[in-house]
Amino acid sequence: MSPNLCLLTVVPTPVRRRCALHYILLHLLGYKLSMDDLKSFRQVDSLTPGHPESSHTDGIEVTTGPLGQGISNAVGLAAAQAHMAATFNKEGFDLITNHTYAFLGDGCLQEGVASETCSLAGHLQLGNLIALYDDNHITIDGETDVSFTEDVVKRFEAYGWHVQVVKDGDNNLESIYNAIVEAQKVKDKPSLIKVHTTIGFGSAKQGTESVHGSPLKADDIVNIKKKFGFDPEQKFHVPDEVYATYNAIGVRGAEAEAKWDALLAQYAQKHPEEHKELTRRIRGDLPEGWEKKLPVYKPGEKNAASRKYSEIVLQAISAGIPELVGGSADLTGSNLTRVKEAVDFQPPSTKLGSYAGRYFRYGVREHGMGAIMNGLSAYGGIIPFGGTFLNFVSYAAGAVRLSALSQHHVLWVATHDSIGLGEDGPTHQPIETAIHLRAIPNLHFWRPADGNETSAAYLFALQAKGTPSVLSLSRQTLPNLENSTIEHAVKGGYVLHDVEGENLNIVSTGSEVQIAVAAAELLAKEGVKTRVISLPCWEVFDAQPKEYQLQVFRSGAPYLSLEAYTTVGWQKYSHEQYGLAAWGASGPYDKVYEKFGITGPNIAAVGKKVAEFYQKRGGEVISPILHAI
């Protein structure tokens, strides 16, 4: 489907009636949803799950079950349209012109993420965004009078939105139509149309919370069918004239698409390079040879924090991957996410940038940033990345989870990733965040140990089309390690320091790998032969062939894990674990590491104890990754 025909983003809330309506409309419009699919609503393995999933059902653009996510995705979709239009539209060739439409309810507006994104949408003057607010005064707890009495109109006017009110949404359909037409005329503000409706309109329990999430009784369904002129004996029946009406819409759409295809063909003749670039980006193909720009390091080269190595990668590849569009949640100077030649994504009227700009100023809105990035990714032609501290990715957990579920190609540049950030103390030091992210299916959590591993993380993350990635990056400097290469690290795990006849293996990630190496060197002097394994991405390593995995985690000697996080999860890769039992501490980072015993000498002492314990116990030490299932 051509970009200018992506006219509708339906944003369902967790209400059975809205999910069902969504599926019914897709069925009528000719999407791959049969009547049998509709009959399988909310059944296992059906195409009509309880909340629509974009990677599961044809015609679903974004997965939005958690409230507030849908309108926030819509902001990302609208921003993507503005960016792609500013980048590719030429005089006489308005290829990318669509509006994004969103339906939302009281619950959506109560979620904080909606406030974050709608505030930013107003600042960005996204005139292509039109939201219809179903104001029915009901949530699951009952009347909104118990918890939600704000003036939504004034709120959105304060955000910089154009706002209209339709007083009788149950009956006055012409007013809704006219309000949409009026909103389309507004080019410099997003639009909110507040539509007063009655929940469960026509049922015996209309206007109550009883119809919010529960099906109607059989007798009530009969009465509603009679009330609106349908045969109460017929079930799952669509009159022929209804199919004919929707088929006509399909024909109209096909004609519009054919017209667009013809315009695109003319564009190819007039602007061949732009056409080549646009179609490549729509396909989702990366530019050829971009990976040759990735920085490569040798041992002994100048040390840098992995956030700095990340900045060097972005600077090296940004020009060659124009679809890489980034930003930061008000931490640009700390995340190091803005390349030198970057132009901000801003309304031209502000003179702060342009819609063709590739750098987003998200403000202090981590959750909103995550949800907007999902929308940017869903639109196509854009690979979004966003920067914040690793600890604050927790603020965006709902959006990160939906990235993984929806298979959005999104990158998080998550700096200040451990107790190594030092003085900011436990409130900023992410102890539990890594295991939370590692537990999310279809999410790659990378924690590189040096420059080559950082380049490898970007290499894999940018090629992983259907998987979001979190790059966990240090504030403190890290040395470039012996035997670290992009080719090794891109496998997710490898032997960094090898010996024969080992007495101990230490497996680690990120800033602690250098400490593991230092410990191995000290242990060697005491006759304890120690291998060191770097495991920058568990999920990618687990996808490697079992033969390779067992080469890295071979049997014969115990494995000690080392990471400045909680040790939860490390039992999968080690016999013994060393990490943090509680929160971090405030102070210079090296003193904080000393406090918790994460130093070369102490890890050497711990490692020697582990090696001696297993030697005295006797018997074969089996690889921790060898299991029956």
Rounded CA separation 528/441 (Å): 38
In a shared domain, residues 13 and 118? yes
Q: Is 438 annotated as a binding residue?
A: no
In a shared domain, residues 429 and 526? no
Answer for the pair 331, 360: CB distance below 8 angstroms, yes or no: no
Per-residue confidence (pLDDT) for residue 576, from 0 to 100:
98
Please report, for the domain that includes residue 72, its CATH number. Answer: 3.40.50.970
User: Is residue 14 pLDDT above 70, yes or no?
Assistant: no
The single residue listed with the structure tokens 């901000």 is 344
Average pLDDT of 338-356?
Answer: 97
Per-residue confidence (pLDDT) for residue 535, from 0 to 100:
98
Residue 237 lies in a domain: yes
User: Is residue 479 pLDDT above 60, yes or no?
Assistant: yes
User: Is residue 477 pLDDT above 60, yes or no?
Assistant: yes
Q: Is 212 annotated as a binding residue?
A: yes
User: Is residue 258 pLDDT above 50, yes or no?
Assistant: yes
Which of these three, 426, 447, 478, is where a domain ends?
478
User: Is residue 495 pLDDT above 60, yes or no?
Assistant: yes
Per-residue confidence (pLDDT) for residue 7, from 0 to 100:
34
Per-residue confidence (pLDDT) for residue 17, from 0 to 100:
54
- Terminal C-alpha separation, the chain: 43
User: Is residue 508 pLDDT above 90, yes or no?
Assistant: yes
At residue 362 the predicted structure's pLDDT band, cuts being 50, 70 and 90, is: very high
Answer for the pair 400, 421: CB distance below 8 angstroms, yes or no: no
Per-residue confidence (pLDDT) for residue 64, from 0 to 100:
85
Q: Is 452 annotated as a binding residue?
A: no
In a shared domain, residues 316 and 397? yes
Rounded CA separation 530/521 (Å): 8
In a shared domain, residues 467 and 603? no
In a shared domain, residues 222 and 95? yes
Q: Look up residue 304 and give its amino acid.
A: A
Q: Is 66 annotated as a binding residue?
A: yes
Q: Is 344 annotated as a binding residue?
A: no
Least confident of 10-14, 484-488, 500-504, 573-577: 10-14
Residue 270 lies in a domain: no
In a shared domain, residues 493 and 460? no
| Mean pLDDT estimate for the chain | 95
CA atoms within 13 A on the CB side of 156: 22
Rounded CA separation 491/498 (Å): 17
Residue 285 lies in a domain: no
Per-residue confidence (pLDDT) for residue 31, from 0 to 100:
94
Which contacts qualify for 139-147: CB closer than 8 Å, 24 or more apart?
139/106, 139/107, 139/110, 139/209, 139/212, 140/209, 140/212, 140/213, 141/209, 142/208, 142/209, 143/209, 144/106, 147/110
Rounded CA separation 542/554 (Å): 15
Average pLDDT of 204-223?
Answer: 88
Per-residue confidence (pLDDT) for residue 271, from 0 to 100:
98
Residue 260 lies in a domain: no
Percentage of the chain lying above the pLDDT 70 cut? 97
Average pLDDT of 585-594?
Answer: 97
Answer for the pair 367, 358: CB distance below 8 angstroms, yes or no: no
Answer for the pair 54, 378: CB distance below 8 angstroms, yes or no: yes
Q: Is 488 annotated as a binding residue?
A: no
Q: DSSP state, 139?
A: E
Please report, for the domain that includes residue 496, its CATH number. Answer: 3.40.50.920
Which of these three, 233, 253, 273, is where a domain ends?
253
Q: How far lies 208's CA from each of 7, 200, 211, 384, in Å?
A: 32, 8, 6, 41
Residue 9 lies in a domain: yes
Contacts of 398 (CB under 8 A, 6+ apart): 66, 68, 69, 113, 367, 370, 371
Comparing CA positions, the residue from 621, 349, 347, 616 lying closest to residue 502 is 621
Q: Is 542 annotated as a binding residue?
A: no
Q: Is 480 annotated as a binding residue?
A: no
In a shared domain, residues 421 and 529? no
Residue 278 lies in a domain: no
Comparing CA positions, the residue from 573, 549, 552 lying closest to residue 561 is 573
Which contacts qualify for 257-264: CB closer than 8 Å, 24 or more apart?
257/1, 257/2, 257/5, 260/2, 260/4, 260/5, 260/95, 261/2, 263/93, 263/95, 264/2, 264/95
Pure H helices in 464-587: 486-489, 513-525, 538-542, 546-552
The 3-state DSSP class for residue 30 equals coil
Answer for the pair 86, 124: CB distance below 8 angstroms, yes or no: no
Per-residue confidence (pLDDT) for residue 140, from 0 to 100:
87
Residue 179 lies in a domain: yes
pLDDT digits (tens, 9 = 90+) for 367-421: 999 999 999 999 999 999 999 999 999 999 999 999 999 999 999 999 999 999 9
At residue 18 the predicted structure's pLDDT band, cuts being 50, 70 and 90, is: low
In a shared domain, residues 405 and 525? no
Q: Total domain count for the chain?
A: 3
Tokens of 202: 């026509």
The single residue listed with the structure tokens 């009784």 is 217
In a shared domain, residues 463 and 503? no
Q: Is 106 annotated as a binding residue?
A: yes
Give catalytic residues, as residue numbers: 366
Average pLDDT of 178-186?
Answer: 98
The single residue listed with the structure tokens 């006759």 is 527
Per-residue confidence (pLDDT) for residue 55, from 0 to 100:
86
Rounded CA separation 421/330 (Å): 18
Element (H, E) at 250: helix 240-270
Across 50-110, the runs of DSSP E, i.e. the strands, are: 100-105
Per-residue confidence (pLDDT) for residue 212, from 0 to 100:
81
pTM higher than the cut 0.85: yes
Answer for the pair 275, 268: CB distance below 8 angstroms, yes or no: yes
Q: Which residues of 274-300 are buried (b: 16+ CB within 10 A; e: fewer)?
A: bbebbebbeeeebeeebbebbbebeee
Partnered with residue 386 across adjacent β-strands are 327, 412
Element (H, E) at 377: helix 366-379
Question: CA angle, corner 291, sides to 286 and 294, nearest 5?
Answer: 135
For residue 526, what are the domain limits? Answer: 489-617
Average pLDDT of 260-278?
Answer: 98
In a shared domain, residues 529 and 444? no
In a shared domain, residues 248 and 294? no
Concatenated DSSP letters of 147-195: T----HHHHHHHHT-EEEEES-TTT-HHHHHHHHHHHHH--SS-EEEEE
Q: Is 307 annotated as a binding residue?
A: yes
Residue 312 lies in a domain: yes
Per-residue confidence (pLDDT) for residue 19, from 0 to 100:
84
Q: Is 531 annotated as a binding residue?
A: no
User: For every residue of 206-247, which 3-state class applies, written as one string?
Assistant: CCCHHHCCCCCCHHHHHHHHHHCCCCCCCCCCCCHHHHHHHH
Average pLDDT of 103-110?
Answer: 95
Rounded CA separation 327/124 (Å): 14
Which of these three, 450, 478, 506, is where a domain ends?
478
Q: Is 428 annotated as a binding residue?
A: yes
Q: Is 58 annotated as a binding residue?
A: no
Per-residue confidence (pLDDT) for residue 220, from 0 to 100:
93
The 3-state DSSP class for residue 328 equals strand
At residue 215 the predicted structure's pLDDT band, cuts being 50, 70 and 90, is: confident
Percentage of the chain lying above the pLDDT 90 cut? 93
pLDDT digits (tens, 9 = 90+) for 517-538: 999 999 999 999 999 999 999 9
In a shared domain, residues 462 and 510? no
